Amino acid sequence: MSPTQPPIRAAFAIFEDTLCQGMMPTWRDEAGFIVTYATEREAQIEIAEMLIVHLDQFIAGERDFDDARTTGDFILPVKVWPDGTIETEGGRRFGRQEI
């Protein structure tokens, strides 16, 4: 992004650590853009709702208990740029991916 075009807003995004690529955004929309949340609580609720689904799957016998009760997801504050790219406080940028 050019220095004359500042980020459009602050937000939060959900990430996970991967073996091959390191820290990566977890949630993307239908167009491949990273989903961001206005508040940290909104992101926390997203993770909690996903855990509830996983626990329901455990109860139904569709998922192992250890898998259902844990998540590798974590939340970081980010800057959102006009093109939908996000930037972490550490300066890593992530953009749209083709789906």
Tens-place pLDDT, residues 14-42: 999 999 989 999 999 999 999 999 999 99
Is beta strand 93-94 parallel, antiparallel or unpaired with respect to 74-80?
unpaired
Region 76-99: mean pLDDT is: 93
Would 54 be classed as within a structural domain?
yes
What is the count of structural domains for the chain?
1
- Mean pLDDT of the chain, nearest integer: 93
Would 40 be classed as within a structural domain?
yes
Residue 41, domain extent: 9-94
The C-alpha angle 88, 94, 47, rounded to 5 degrees, equals: 70
What's the confidence (pLDDT) of residue 98?
80
The model's pTM: 0.86
Would 3 be classed as within a structural domain?
no
78 contact partners, CB below 8 Å, separation of at least 6: 10, 11, 12, 13, 36, 86, 87, 88, 89
99 contact partners, CB below 8 Å, separation of at least 6: 28, 30, 31, 32
Would 28 be classed as within a structural domain?
yes
Q: Is 90 exceeded by the pLDDT of residue 4?
A: no
Would 74 be classed as within a structural domain?
yes
Would 41 be classed as within a structural domain?
yes
What's the confidence (pLDDT) of residue 3?
56
What's the confidence (pLDDT) of residue 7?
76
pLDDT tens profile 55-65 = 999 999 999 99
